[in-house]
Amino acid sequence: MMSNELLRLEHLSIQYKVEDGYLSAVKDVSLGIQRGEVFAMVGESGCGKSTVAQSIMRLSLDHNEQIAGKIIFKGKDLNALSEAEMEAIRGREIGMIFQDPLDSLNPVYRVGRQVAEALMLDGMSRAQAEKRTIELFQDVQIPSPKQRIKSYPHELSGGMRQRVMIAMMIARNPSLLIADEPTTALDVTVESQILQIMRHLRDQYGTSILIITHNFGIVAEIADRVGIMYAGELVEQGPVDQVFDHPAHPYSQVLMAALPRFSKREGRIRTIDGTVPRIVGEFTGCRFANRCPHATDRCRNSDPPIRRLNDSHFIRCHMEDASWKMS
Ligand SMILES: Nc1ncnc2c1ncn2[C@@H]1O[C@H](COP(=O)(O)OP(=O)(O)OP(=O)(O)O)[C@@H](O)[C@H]1O
Ligand code: SF4
Ligand SMILES: [Mg+2]
């Protein structure tokens, strides 16, 4: 393991038990996130992004799910930990924020109290925790923090609630923040403020961030590296500039080509022709083959290998030199 690596997913595969068998939601995903790095995961709806995020927190592990591969965090395989050990990591070491913070905030407690209690869990007195909560609200640019700590979640706007969630994250100072579409419900101005706060979190505290989004503008604004998911597989990963300027996997190329030329870095994922396959049971070959302009029999008959374009840029494709087909 590289010394600066915080999280590493090794051949992570996740299947859900469904009526007609096992649905392959995530297949053989491997990636590493360095300390202080922002990694963005992008892909169409249903391609497995939230499943990856939840598996890191072990939120969705129940009898409906089968998981294979490793999730190594600070050198430990999280899948091998007991529930009690995992409980100590959730929130404290790995924090998570969701699209709708109402799901995570308790509706019957004032928001200030919820943040203060997170601090008290870590040994602060009530008075210290209340003082620190006000500072944290200032940090995340909540106006009139002394008044706002007394609000209930439903009294705040979506953007303010997301700030409260981020304040709660900072309170516990996790090494890894997982943000699953944290700004999808917010307007563009508030979105940009929230991204700025997340960047500040990384700069100030060295927090690593795994951000999941449909929006390439967000990737360009905040991420160091990006992974493109398709039908449960990570089909391309690399530094944001390389993947944006020289997408190498045919799916990434189609996605990029679908973005308006001058707003490439502002666009949301567009729909492209065809649909993402729903894979239940055995499947051989490239999952993108039914939509790929370059598909051959080999693509349909054998699983594509991971190809390394350079030290940090990988694709999963049969094409010997995918980059020559770049637009
Ligand atoms: N608990 C579950 N039981 C069965 N199937 C599930 C479950 N959760 C997710 N799935 C299926 O797994 C696949 C991946 O879902 P997931 O929510 O991870 O995708 P996503 O990339 O986060 O999509 P979105 O962008 O819409 O949030 C989908 O086909 C979804 O229908
Ligand atoms: S493996 Fe074949 S079908 Fe799949 S993306 Fe590459 S060229 Fe297209
Ligand atoms: Mg999702």
Going from N- to C-terminal start, the domains of the chain cover: 35-57+80-93+178-325, 105-173
Ligand 3 center to 134 CA (angstroms): 32
Contact 47, 230 (CB under 8 A): yes
Q: What distance in Å separates the CA atoms of residue 78 and residue 75, rounded to the nearest whole number?
A: 9
Residues 166 and 140: beta-carbon distance below 8 Å: yes
Nearest CA to ligand 1 atom 3: 16
| C-alpha distances out from residue 62 to 15, 46, 95, 174, 326, Å | 11, 19, 20, 25, 42
Q: 327 C-alpha vs ligand 3 centroid, how far in Å?
A: 29
Residue 49 Cβ inside 6 Å of ligand 1? The answer reads yes
Q: Residue 16: CB within 6 Å of ligand 1?
A: yes
pLDDT at 325: 47
Under 8 Å between Cβ of 240 and 223: yes
Which DSSP symbol is given to 276? -
Side by side, the strands of the sheet bearing 5-18 are 21-34, 5-18, 65-73, 76-77
Task: Give distance in angstroms: CA of 103 to centre of ligand 3.
Answer: 14
Q: For ligand 2, is residue 292 a contact (CB within 6 Å)?
A: yes
Provide the whole-model pTM.
Answer: 0.91
How high is the pLDDT of residue 266?
A: 53
Residue of the CA atom closest to atom 28 of ligand 1: 46
**Interval between CA 17 and ligand 1 midpoint (Å):** 12
Q: Which of 49, 61, 275 to mutate to test the pocket of ligand 1 (most atoms within 8 A of CB)?
A: 49
Shortest-distance Cα residue to atom 12 of ligand 1: 25
**310 forms bridges with which residues in the sheet?**
313
Query: Are 15 and 51 in contact, with CB atoms under 8 Å apart?
Result: no
Paired tokens of 266: 């502002």
318 Cβ closer than 6 Å to some ligand 2 atom? yes
Using a 10 angstrom Cβ sphere, with 0-12 exposed, 13-18 middle and 19 or more buried, the burial of residue 148 is buried
Which residues, in sequence order, are bridge partners of residue 230? 233
Interval 67-87: pLDDT, tens: 999 999 999 999 999 999 999
- What residue's CA is closest to ligand 1, atom 6? 16
CATH superfamily of 35-57+80-93+178-325: P-loop containing nucleotide triphosphate hydrolases (3.40.50.300)
Please tell me the distance between residue 121's alpha carbon and the centre of ligand 3 in angstroms.
30
| CB of 186 closer than 8 Å to CB of 156 | no
| 78 touches ligand 2 (CB under 6 Å) | no
Q: 306 near 315, Cβ under 8 Å?
A: yes
Degrees to nearest 5, angle at CA 233 with 176 and 30:
45
Cβ of 227 closer than 6 Å to ligand 1, yes or no, is no
Task: Assess whether the C-beta atom of 294 lies below 6 angstroms from ligand 2.
Answer: yes
Q: What angle do CA 159, 161, 166 make, to 5 degrees?
A: 95
Counting from 1 in the atom list of ligand 1, the atom nearest the Cα of 17 is 4
For the chain, which residues score pLDDT lower than 70?
1-3, 60-63, 260-272, 321-327
CB of 64 closer than 6 A to ligand 1? yes
